[in-house]
Amino acid sequence: MASSRTYLDHNATTPLAEAVIDSMADALRVTFGNASSIHSEGQQARHLVERARREVAQLLHAEPREIVFTSGGTEANNMAIRGFLAATGKTKQHFITTTIEHPAVLQVATHLESQGVEVTYVAVGPAGVLNPADLRDALRPDTTLVSVMHANNEVGTVQPIAEIAALCHEHGAKLHVDAVQSCGKIPVDVRALDVDLLSVSAHKFHGPKGVGALYMRKGVAANPLLHGGRHERGRRPGTENVVAIHGMGIAAALARQSLESETLRLTQLRDQMEEAILHAIPDVSVNCKSSLRLPNTSSLCFHGIEGEPLLIALDLRGFAVSSGSACSSGSVEPSHVLTAIGLAREEARSCLRISLGAGNDQGQLERFVVALEQTVCQLRKIAAPTSPSVPGIAAISAKRNTP
């Protein structure tokens, strides 16, 4: 990454930690065996996989045997929800989730509805946080599974998972938690939260893409999505991606070591940045500001302009931010998360997500705020005499694509 650029989109993905790069490179050179083979080369690979399993388990306060490696958070979510419901053997099932989940959960819910599963979507309100009383009202005797994300990828709000888990178990339902955004940023303790299934993804905490994990509480069953082998204790067939799993283990160990200090540092940086933006730029609001949020995440609404041209203009100035979830980029529809917390469609289109990470410091954010103030001022001048719907986007896009 060029040193002149500042990366502020860590909720989309994170750069690989140097220690992860070095460890994966070493493994690529010397560890090529199949982890299912009993000869020395295979056992060398198996050692890396099991060491990574222990590291991920320690990060989550789980037992190693409760960790199943997957290709990422999306597969982990699918395995948790579809696999668990299939394993129950029940013909009539009720599934509950929220209106602000990641598409890797919401699209699974849509699929379940097509298969005859009844799904309830519980709203969260302007604070971006699920009210446990609303969940209590939605729970029924035939509710089999509830899926609630730990922290939202767009606005950063953290859900009261332990209280939610108590309600679910009181009503005989299991709880799945999508912890893809929270793992490595805030403590994720599966014992304290009392969850049954929990999904994580390595590339969200400075590990490689294409690898994740599903925590499955001992005694909780989920049918495999694939068929073809007895890998991962029969829960996820296919030859293990040893090097990527090894990289995830190293990243998990690093995250555990720095979690407390980074949480404090990023919280201070984010709060200082938000205060500076609100002071420098008029007509800006912070979404879910009063809620408990991830320490690195800020969702801001710049009233009167659209987020996409603002994002492109900032990119031209060397700052990488997001207008929402990376998985929804290119969509003409406003973010479902932002409309779910009560923003009008025009307001939702005026938002930027800034997500900080290990490589960010105060100097970068000071320069970012200056660039942001200048860019917002410029775009508002362009938008003033015309419709506010698409202010200057064609001109900015043309400039961006000019060699």
The residues assigned a catalytic role are: 327
Neighbours of 218 (CB within 10 A): 8
CA gap 77, 107 in Å, rounded: 11
CA gap 378, 370 in Å, rounded: 12
Sequence-ordered list of residues with C-beta below 8 angstroms from that of 247, at least 6 positions apart, any chain: 16, 20, 23, 24, 27, 202, 207, 208, 211
Closest-CA residue to 204 (of 189, 220, 188): 188
Instruction: With beta carbons less than 8 A apart as the criterion, state whether 298 and 270 touch.
Output: yes
- CA torsion, points 304, 310, 314, 320, in degrees to nearest 10? 120
Give the 3-state secondary structure of residue 119.
strand
Joined together, the tokens standing for residue 236 give: 């996820």
Instruction: With beta carbons less than 8 A apart as the criterion, state whether 324 and 301 touch.
Output: no
Strand partners, 198: 177, 215
CA gap 84, 94 in Å, rounded: 13
Residue 388 amino acid letter: P
Closest-CA residue to 308 (of 254, 245, 375): 375
Closest-CA residue to 135 (of 104, 117, 162, 157): 162
CA gap 269, 214 in Å, rounded: 31
Q: Are strands 118-122 and 94-98 parallel, antiparallel or unpaired?
A: parallel
